[in-house]
A and B are shown apart, each in its own frame.
Chain A
Amino acid sequence: MAEVKLDCMYEACPIPLLKAHKELKKMKKGDVLIMETDHTCSITNVLEWANKQGYEVDYIEVAEGEWEIYIEKE
């Protein structure tokens, strides 16, 4: 399994979601995308979208106002 890091820091939504969508297309099944973001709205945004796509998804706060979102490609 590969892990792909995606830097979405300082980007307002919907840019993080668009970037994730683009990156996920290139990835193989079972790979995990790690998104780094500091925009709370993109968490809800990405989580809702990923859930709808049927991807496994979760996130943690890694520092004050910085989050990592994990998406596993199905």
Chain B
Amino acid sequence: MLYLPHTTEDIASMLQAVGVDDLDGLFSTVPEDCRCKGDLNLPEAMTEWELNEHMQALSDSMAVSPEYKVFMGAGSYEHFIPASVLYLLSRSEFVTSYTPYQPEMSQGTLQAIYEYQTLAARLLGMEIATASHYDGATALAESLLMAIRVTKRSKVAVSSLIHPLYRRVVRTYFEPTGYEVVELGYLKSGVTDLTGFDEMEDLAAVAVQSPNFFGCVEDLQAIGERAHDKEALFIASFTEALSYGLLKNPGSQGADVVCGEGQSLGIPRSFGGPQLGILASRKIYMRSLPGRLVGQTKDLDGKRGFVLTLATREQHIRREKATSNICTNNSLCALAAATYMASLGGTGIRELARLNHDKAEYLKNELKKAGFTISFDSPTFNEFVVEFPKGFEANYGRLLEKKIIAGLSLAPYYPELVNHYLLCVTETRSKEDMDSLVREVKS
């Protein structure tokens, strides 16, 4: 076996040094009736070449771009990833190291994460960002729990236009805690409805996503002010990080905490994971933040260096009193995002974000011209909702056969929105792709 270096002679001499007769003798402390009888019932080993063939066949059965034209976003976006980003991510010094507990041997990871924290904070207009979380949904759940700790209140208000799957993760995290989650409805224009908000008492936080699940841009400033009137934390969530290349960032609109998904920043979709949970906040909440943080310091010679810091918030020191149980960050995903943001630069991200917006507007207009209704009239970034005629479902299936994925049906998530589809257009969809989508949905 190519990953097991021991020769028969090595094993014999090591067993002798240990003082046991054979490999089984190493397990004398295991009670007899806990042991496996016989071999594990697993498929026999494959050679590298057999595995290549097997995996290729599995991979070939998947519907992916460019063969398929996928107009689906909803928290997982198709963006071009430069070869240089993927190449750097394969550097094994980054890939095969662990959490930088020993900073002298991990300056590469540490500086890269410090830079990621800085770029993420700048993208969102915040003072600080953590070293990353599992995904946008868990970042939201942890942000809400943090607001409860900070305010010592036990109720949070969450917009119903936050990604439905994120809200389900929040409910899972909250279920055993006894804390309450109330949902804010939405208006005909496709943004969060604050009716009834004034009657809500004792809120720890108000959380809103922008662009929201319908793709609409929320008036964060106004919602933030309402949240602050009640001395609740204002949490801005997002699923499409690239939008802040163009849109006003949440920090400049009064957000206390910003959390969301960074998959758009150079991370392959990989059937939904791993992704990148981005969590940023104002500096005053630094010591209440969940998760890892990297800070700048100096070595004995006064040279700049980086370390994991504020560990006294974390589980291995604080145990049950920790700010979270999280013990990892999605470090390699954060590295991907940093290399991607560095490659785009300030000029590039602006242009790319604008192109996403403009392409989505093109499709929106073409669909309008073709007689379809755009469900909500609020401004959008690269996703929007369209209402297709009754019975479109059959047509959707026919389009799949033509290798076009005409967005995501909203009915499973919002039962009132039958025949409404969430469409996404990024820089990867050409004008031709969009024209053919319009032609096909019309026929």
- Chains A and B form a bound pair: no
User: Which residues of B are in contact with A by a Cβ distance under 8 Å?
Assistant: none
